[in-house]
Amino acid sequence: MDERAKITNKAYFVFLGLCLFALAVVAKIAVIQFVDSEKWASKAARLTTDLREIVPPRGNIYAEDGHLLATSVPVYEIRMDMRSEALKEADFYGALDSLSAALSKLFGNKSAARYRDDLKAAYLSGNRYYLVKAGAEYDDIAQVTSFPLWRKGRYAGGVIIEKQTVRRMPYGDMAARTVGYTREGVAPVGIEGAYNSELRGRVGQRYEKRLAGGVWMPVKNTNETEPVDGSDVLTTIDVNIQDVASNALRKQLRKHKARHGCAVLMEVKTGYIKAIANLTLTGDSTYAERYNYAVGEATEPGSVFKLPALMAAFEDGKLSLTDSVDTERGAYRFYDRIMRDSNDKGYGKIDVLTVFQKSSNVGVSRLINDLYKDEPGRFTDRLFKMGLGHELGLEISGEGTPKIKDPSREGWSGVTLPWMSIGYETLMTPLQILTFYNAVANDGVMVKPLFAKEIRRNGRTVRRIDPQVINRSVASSETISKARTMLESVVSPEGTASNLRFGAYSIAGKTGTAQIANARYGYKYEQSVSYQASFVGYFPAEEPEYSCIVVVNGPSNDVYYGNQVAGPVFKEIADKVYAKRFDLQREMPAPSEHLAVRVPVSKSGFAADLHALFEAMDVPVDDASEAYPWVTTKTRTDDVLFERRTIPEGRVPNVTGMGLRDGLFLLEEAGLKVQISGAGVIKTQSLPPGAQVSPGRTIKIELS
């Protein structure tokens, strides 16, 4: 075959190949157009249209009296599409100066010149989603939509307003770790996490179209799936007592330069937590809620563990209150270690009641070691039967794991039993300790600590959270009676908490002082010593209504005993509860030193006026209000205590206990119409404190 023929054949071959390729393309187009048209049309639609979630409003969290502890509020992002099709260059530059001045005047975070430079730079770069301001409020949006250029709207003005929802706590840091939070990628915390399924509601869905700049716009007015708003949670927290607990704890932590601390108040019969404060020393030398120590921190409890140790011996029939033990000169050797009392002179030979009353380490350890050294397993088994060593199964996450050593396992030694008896070589959280003491106050019935009472939807109760019994009898009635006798003796003139005995009601409880070694702080016993001071008990002692624990870690002012560091916080909380509960109050014989009233009774009110009044009368004032303008006053033996009274903005203020002038000022300033009956001090108000204010609404106040 000549060269010409070869070239011709190759040309025909290439031509045939091109024809076949063209036919294949036409065939594929036909398949796409007529066979797979729906598939590709759907895929194309999904590139610009998608079924997106509609997140419903999250439910509110309320205190037991209706005060808001957590709520969702709308905030807005203000953005700008610098390449919006209808935005003209002349319009942008013509309004740039006036728009910048308006933004600077409204938000005040940047100068007009800075706004001008930033907006101009974004325009020149063609930014289609430029963030002008984050976290804007609803009132701000009403103004910015009337600003120069932006009054023309989304397309001609380029302004984009995006609504978001954020969680707010009206009372700030108060009980923040217990109220908690939920965040993406982080384990849920507190009540927010425990009741997340109820609070979050049900997510809806709707089709939205993607616009330039990443903005999504609903395709139609109706949703594919309607969202369901979250339910509300009514907690057990009493805001007024919570406020006292937080402030009393903060004051004592600051006084003793402590590392952190917690305070918990529980209702004896129900297990409802009325107040829970957890405060940590921060880098700027203030105290804030950072970790829920009451729930999560398991440490060696120290002397407060002497109660269950002795109760175990009572329950096993090995001991009575009248039995005696020789505490010698306050020191006793167990193998290679020496047990010491805080009283280095010792108490000599004393009975069991006095051992507990004086919190003798030597006395308790000798008793338990002598009684159980040949059968330590019986001692630990009894502790478990009394409800110790088990987690409480709280609704909120993060409960610390308790630990009681097993004699059959590695780690048990000859000194474990005596040291365990006084609260070492064992671990418990403050709330686990409180739950046991609460059982003693509750005639042996151990109830689960609860943080919520009800789940509500649209103001109606959909689920009640009733009290739950963990252990119907931690011990016999005889043992419980002995335990309560011991606890009452601690708050007697001879007891370690004698400083807490004064008042119109009686307290029973136990002081605790422990040397702790915690990996969290990076030291061991032999390297450094840190103390944990505690007081746990209940009141009134005869018919207990409330139990309470206060734990202070790392006091550093050379004062670390439980009665001096933790006891005053307990007493301040108890005083507040007693003052609120008129049904608990009864006439009691007062000590002779209390018969003469040297300090006048005062109304609550405006701090500056009250300071001037008491200064003129030469009456001492203990101001614990931290410079709050409004205070609650409490008359004491030698002075008047000022405690802060929080007046949340936009909410009904608490004016009970105030004089008419101050109460009327606060109510009218909140926009309420006031109806008055009676004379004297404001006794009741018809609208609950903390409720949302509706301007012009009428509130009735009754004066005593």
Separation of alpha carbons 326 and 366, rounded Å: 8
In this structure, the answer to whether residues 212 and 268 fall within a common structural domain is: no
- Residues facing 326 on adjacent strands: 349
Q: Is residue 40 part of a domain?
A: no
Hey, what's the torsion of the CAs at 670, 674, 679, 683, to 10 degrees? -60
- The CATH number linked to 694 is 3.30.10.20
Q: Give how far Cα 198 sits from Cα of 225, 228, 452, 467, Å.
A: 18, 11, 12, 20
Give yes or no for a contact between 643 and 244, defined as CB atoms under 8 angstroms apart. yes
Q: How many distinct structural domains can be found in the chain?
A: 5
Query: Does residue 196 fall inside a structural domain?
Result: yes
Which CATH number does the domain housing residue 564 bear? 3.40.710.10
Distance in angstroms (rounded) separating the CA atoms of residues 360 and 303 = 9
Whether 42 maps to a domain, the answer reads no
> Which parts of 497-565 fold into alpha helices (H)?
562-565
DSSP symbols for 263-283 = EEEEETTT-BEEEEEEEEE-T
| Angle, helix 376-385 to helix 306-315, in steps of 10 degrees | 100
pLDDT in tens, 580-596: 877 676 554 444 444 44
Q: Is residue 147 part of a domain?
A: yes
Distance CA(459)–CA(371), nearest Å, equals 58
Task: State whether 548 and 602 are in the same domain.
Answer: no
CA distances from 191 to 42, 180, 291 (A): 43, 6, 14
Q: What is the pLDDT of residues 664-691, one digit of tens each?
A: 888 888 888 888 887 778 877 887 777 7
Q: What is the pLDDT of residue 467?
A: 96
pTM (global) more than 0.75: no
Clarify whether residues 307 and 254 are in a common domain.
Answer: yes
613 and 509, same structural domain? no
List the CATH number of the domain containing 208: 3.90.1310.10
- DSSP code of residue 150: G
Rounded to a whole number of angstroms, the CA Rg of the chain reads 35
Residues 265 and 256: beta-carbon distance below 8 Å? no
477 and 516: one domain? yes
Report the pLDDT value the prediction gives residue 520, as an integer from 0 to 100. 45
User: Are 204 and 252 contained in the same domain?
Assistant: no
Is the Cβ–Cβ distance between 644 and 626 less than 8 Å? Answer: yes
Of 79, 164, 146, the C-alpha closest to 118 is 79
Can you give the three-state secondary structure of 301-355, one letter per residue?
CHHHHHHHHHHHHHHCCCCCCCCEEECCCCEEEECCEEEECCCCCCCCEEEHHHH
Do 508 and 400 share a structural domain? yes
Residues 561 and 596 occupy one common structural domain: no
Domain termination site, one of 179, 208, 234:
234
Residue 41 in domain: no
Q: Which residues of the chain have pLDDT under 50?
A: 518-527, 588-597
Same-domain status, 171 and 260: no
The verdict on 216 and 306 lying in the same domain is no
DSSP state of 219: S
Task: Tell me the pairing of strands 68-80 and 61-62.
Answer: antiparallel
Give the range of the structural domain holding residue 547, as residue numbers without chain letter.
Answer: 239-584
At which residue do the structure tokens 């249209």 appear?
49
Where are the strands (E) in 587-655, listed by range? 605-606, 621-623, 630-635, 640-644
Q: Are residues 253 and 206 in the same domain?
A: no
344 & 458 share domain: yes
Dihedral angle computed from the Cα positions of residues 421, 423, 428 and 433, in that order, rounded to the nearest 10 degrees: 80
Tell whether the torsion through CA atoms of 450, 453, 456 and 461 is positive or negative. Answer: positive
Structural domain contains residue 133:
yes
